[in-house]
């Protein structure tokens, strides 16, 4: 039996890498996408997205996270909408966003 079938939606912590989590999405059954190494080989399944903001900064950040909410990649954006759009652009699965 797969570990993923036992997991329920796991809410992220209030902060990731010191940034406040504003919106998040999680899929325990299927990753949103698989990060690849520079040579194109599959590397890390991404099961969580978080839209975050560091205190005092204007930028928003899209964090791509593994199943345990470890940040594997991020990108900065001028708005929440741009950050959400960036997640949608790379995801192979539907994303259901939740407010933190």
- 9-13, 19-23, 30-34, 78-82 — which is least confidently predicted? 9-13
Question: Rounded to whole angstroms, how far apart are CA atoms 22 and 15?
Answer: 9
The sign of the CA dihedral 3, 72, 90, 68 is positive
pTM above 0.95, yes or no: no
Does the pLDDT value for residue 58 go beyond 80?
yes
Does the pLDDT value for residue 55 go beyond 50?
yes
- Confidence band (pLDDT; 50, 70, 90) for 1? very low
Residue 2: its pLDDT value, please? 46
> How do the domains of the chain map onto residue ranges?
3-99
Does the pLDDT value for residue 90 go beyond 80?
yes
């Amino acid at each position: 039996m797969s570990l993923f079938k036992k997991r329920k939606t796991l809410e992220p912590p209030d902060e990731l890498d010191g940034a406040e989590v504003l919106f998040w999405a999680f899929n325990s059954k299927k990753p949103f996408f698989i990060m690849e190494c520079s040579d194109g080989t599959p590397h890390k399944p991404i099961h969580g997205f978080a839209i975050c903001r560091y205190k005092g900064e204007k930028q928003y950040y899209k964090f791509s996270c593994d199943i345990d909410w470890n940040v594997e990649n991020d990108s900065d954006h001028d708005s929440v909408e741009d950050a959400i759009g960036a997640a949608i652009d790379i995801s192979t699965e539907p994303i259901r966003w939740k407010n933190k």
